[in-house]
Amino acid sequence: LILSERVELLQEAEKKVRAGKGNGSGAGGVLGVRFKTVTAEVSQQDRHALFASGGVFAVTSRILVTDLLSGKVPPEMVTGMVVMHAHKLADRDNEAFILQVFRKKNKAGFIKGISDRPEFLVRGFSGVERVMKHLQVQRLHLYPRFHLSVLSSLQTSQPTAAERVLQLPPLVTDCQKALLGMLDKGLVEVRKEKG
């Protein structure tokens, strides 16, 4: 994904997949890609050095808009942007502005939007069109979970599930018992009236 000294940015990458928080030198993995995390804790000079070294970065929109406008990240040097949670893009102004600045100065760079909540794209009036407009893309690719490439990717990194059983406090248990008792008595009364 790295072309010469060009930079790729993962905009608004999920906090869950970030690793090495704090100094920006850690690497995390999403979509099979190793990337460097750039947070507010990384100084401007360090960010500039990181971006100049090239690579794939996970950057918050607040940092990215500042660095794009100040010239620390020249849009011409960015290979592309991947917007996580693209279904929220229409509701947030920073990301749409970043993509406008990027597209205005870099016609060749790619823009990709990823969403794990397709139901949000069909809510309201023309949800898909609005998101595509903000992403400035003309083509839409839908990959359901049973698509072979998605299925193989999901099978390589199986999630772990842990069940936690919590003990209710005594007062809550008493309330629960009282509510269940009232429901039982109410059902008995309803059955008497119907029967």
Residues 80-87 have a mean pLDDT of 82
| pLDDT number for residue 153 | 76
Q: Which phi and psi (to 5°) does residue 117 adopt?
A: -125, 70
| DSSP letter, residue 170 | H
- Nearest partner of 67 among 11, 17, 109, judged by Cα: 11
User: pTM of the entire structure?
Assistant: 0.60
| pLDDT number for residue 170 | 94
**Out of 21-35, 49-63, 118-132, which region has the weakest mean confidence (pLDDT)?**
21-35
How confident is residue 30, by pLDDT bands cut at 50, 70 and 90? very low
| pLDDT number for residue 23 | 35
Examine the pLDDT at 47 and tell me if it is beyond 70.
Answer: yes
Residue type, 186: G
Residues 6+ apart with CB under 8 A from 120: 87, 88, 127
Examine the pLDDT at 31 and tell me if it is beyond 70.
Answer: no
Neighbours of 163 (CB within 10 A): 4
How confident is residue 17, by pLDDT bands cut at 50, 70 and 90? very low
Q: Collapse the DSSP code of 127 into the 3-class scheme (helix H, G, I; strand E, B; otherwise coil) and give the result.
A: helix
Mean pLDDT of the chain: 77
Dump pLDDT digits (tens) for 57-78. Answer: 888 888 888 888 888 888 888 8
Ramachandran bin of 158, using left for φ above 0, alpha for ψ from -120 to 50, beta for the remaining angles? beta
| pLDDT number for residue 120 | 78
Examine the pLDDT at 183 and tell me if it is beyond 60.
Answer: yes
Examine the pLDDT at 21 and tell me if it is beyond 60.
Answer: no
Q: In what order do the strands lie in the sheet with 33-38?
A: 27-30, 33-38, 55-59, 7-11, 78-84, 110-114
Residues 92-109 have a mean pLDDT of 84
How confident is residue 14, by pLDDT bands cut at 50, 70 and 90? very low
